[in-house]
Structure 1
Amino acid sequence: MKLVLAPMEGLADYWLRQVLTEVGGYDWCVSEFIRVSGTLLPPKVFYRWCPELLAGARTLSGTPVHLQLLGSDPVCVAENAARAVELGAPAIDLNFGCPAKTVNAHRGGAVLLDEPELVHDIIAAVRRAVPAAIPVSAKMRLGNESDARALDNAHAVAAAGASWLTVHGRTKTQGYRPPAYWDRIAEVRAAVALPVIANGEIWTAADAERCRQDSGCDTLMVGRGAVSDPFLARRIRQLPAGGWEQVFPWLTHYAGLLLGTGTPSQESGRVKQWLNYLRRDYVEAEQWYQALRRLQDARLMAARLAEPLERPAP
């Protein structure tokens, strides 16, 4: 079994990738998508979204980072993929799953699943543009408005020469509402010869096992579940994991890493965003969220995290 940390735009940024992969359990992770729209991007853009390129395309703990691109022009996406490889990307992943309205309105992400021929052309162009040794993969949902063309898209991905396909088990319209349809991923897996990775609604080790059984996939991609429980990958692998006492030092480490990376408000906002996810699994995270939610300065927040938490009266 392999486990992959998902690309999560606006959530799994460089700094959170460092922390989650250092906790461990991942075979590789995927960067936030880099939007490609009509131009060959300068290196600084690639470095902004995937700073790991400057360190051998690995996180600080040594986990490989695959670079994700999003776009609808085969020629332009291919040119940028070639540049990404020149800058050190070990693999290119192509986004056909983003449900964001602003992305979809500009013909990007999940709306492309209405055009399997274009999906094929984008992947094929990238495959031709990068060396044969560089994997080219795709990540898609089951469809845009419906899943009627799921197999058409899977066949398009395979015919274009992709190395593997990751399938999020919902359509764009279904968003992130439970459930994820892992059985539909199994239908995709059965329809194509290339490896398929299952993604969607994996919050616990039990979810992971059910996903493996229902989808038939040995490789899983975990996203929001890994943010809510930093030890999720370790639990899935049945490795030593911990509770809040083990999570809290990673939270304080993250807060420290963020200092100096943006404005005080931006830095504190990132900490609160992660705490917001952590409180799904940990009651202590809810208490810390309430204690920190009004702070707008990450330095004050880091100092507060170093102090004991005042417990509410029973």
Structure 2
Amino acid sequence: MRLLLAPMEGLLDADLRDVLTRACPYDWAVSEFVRVSGTLLPHRCYRRVSPELLSGGRTAAAVPVRLQLLGSDPSCLADNAANLVELAPPGVDLNFGCPAPTVNRHRGGAVLLDEPELLYRIAAAVRAAVPAGTPFTAKMRLGVADTSKAVECAQALAAGGVEGLVVHARTKLDGYRPPAHWVWVARIAEAVDIPVAANGEVWSEADWRRCRAESGVADVMLGRGAVADPFLARRLRAHGGAGDCAIDRDAEWAELQPLLALYWRRAHERLRAPHSPGRLKQWLNLLRRNYPQAEHLFRDVRAVRRPTEIDAALVRHGIAAATLPLAA
């Protein structure tokens, strides 16, 4: 089996990707998308989204990060892919899964799933620009408003040269509302001759087992479930999903504390002061699904606006910002 770390625009940035891959081994991760719309982007645009490109395309834990492109113009996407491969990324991925209205209004992401022929032309153009040996993958949903074109879209991407496909088992209209329709992943996997991974609503070992059983595929991409439970992938690898193992949340929280400290330091140094507290709160909001300690910390910082107040709250909860040096 392969475990993949999902791209999550506005949530899983390079800093969080770094700490999550320190906590768990993943086969690869995918970056947030780089929006391509009519211009040839400079290299700094790719490095801004995936600073791992400055370190061989890998996180500090040596997990390769494939860079994701989003757009609707086959020629422009191909030109940018050719420009991107000059930086030797571990892989190039295409985004046909983003359901955000702003993105969709500009003909990007999941809205293109009504146009299988366009998906084929995009994939074929980018395939011609990405050299053999550089993995070329795509992520899609089941459709825009329904699943009527799901199989056709997957076949179009495969025919265009995509080597692997991640299927988020919901439509654009579904957004992130449960359930995920994993049975559709099975239908897609049966219809294409490339590896298919399932994605959506995997929050626990039990979810992972059901996902694999209903989808019939071995590979799973973890998204918000990995953010809410940073050691989920490690438990899946250790126990093979044979059954729900006893989870020592206190021990995991102790292991998570220096990673929280590291994430906060990087967010604080990278972002303007008014924005950095929100990034930590966003992660804590998901962590409190599994960790009572995160619930207590989240309540303490919920109304906080200044970084110095975040520092003080972390110290009160036994998490010192100096726990790990920034270069660690």
Which TM-score bucket, shorter chain as reference?
A: over 0.9
Counterpart residue number, 2:30: 30
Correspondence for 1:306: 315
Q: Following TM superposition, by how much is the alpha carbon of 1:285 offset from its aligned partner in structure 2, in angstroms?
A: 1.1
2:257 alignment partner, SS class? helix
Going from structure 1 to structure 2, the CA distance change for 1:308 and 1:113 (only over 3 Å counts) comes to closer
Moved more, 299-308 or 149-158: 299-308
Opposite residue 140 of structure 2, the aligned amino acid is M
CA distance, structure 1, for counterparts of residue 227 and residue 130 of structure 2: 32
Counting matched residue pairs gives 309
Identity between Structure 1 and Structure 2 (%)? 54
2:160 is the alignment partner of 1:151: no
Distance 1:89 1:52 in 2: 9
Q: Is the 8 A contact 2:14 2:51 kept in 1?
A: yes
- Once residues 84 and 31 of structure 1 are traced to their aligned partners in structure 2, the CA distance between those partners, rounded to angstroms, is 13
Amino acid aligned to 1:270:
R
How far, CA to CA, are the matches of 1:81 and 1:295 in structure 2? 41
- Indicate the residue corresponding to 2:65 in structure 1: 65
Displacement of 1:234: 0.9
Q: Report the counterpart of residue 199 of structure 1 in structure 2.
A: 199
* Structure 2 unmatched ranges of 5 or more: 240-244, 319-328
Assess if the C-alpha contact under 8 Å between 2:297 and 2:317 holds in 1: no
1:188, 1:124 → 2: CA distance?
19
- Per mean C-alpha deviation after superposition, the further-off stretch among 52-61 and 255-264 is 255-264
Hey, what's the Cα distance between the residues in 1 that align with 2:93 and 2:204? 25
2: CA distance, partners of 1:300 / 1:52: 30
What does 1:39-58 align with in structure 2 at a 5 Å threshold? 39-58=39-58
Where does residue 17 of structure 2 map in the other structure? 17
2:266 aligned residue? 257
Task: Name the Cα RMSD after superposition.
Answer: 1.4
- Return the letter of the residue paired with 1:300: E
Report the counterpart of residue 81 of structure 1 in structure 2.
81
State the match for 1:108 in structure 2: 108
Paired residue for 1:269? Answer: 278
Cα pair 2:28 2:66 within 8 Å, conserved: yes
SS for the counterpart of 1:157 is helix
The TM-score, its normalising length taken from structure 1, stands at 0.95
Judge conservation of contact 1:123–1:136 (CA < 8 Å) in 2: no
Partner in structure 1 of residue 297 of structure 2:
288
1:312 aligned partner? none
- Secondary structure of 1:258's counterpart equals helix
Letter in 2 for 1:196: V
Q: TM-score normalised to the size of structure 2?
A: 0.91
- Structure 2: distance between partners of 1:185 and 1:98: 17
For residues 201 and 215 of structure 1, the distance between their equivalents in structure 2, rounded to whole angstroms, comes to 13
Q: What are structure 1's unaligned runs of at least 5 residues?
A: 310-314
Contact 1:264 1:299 in 2 (8 A): no
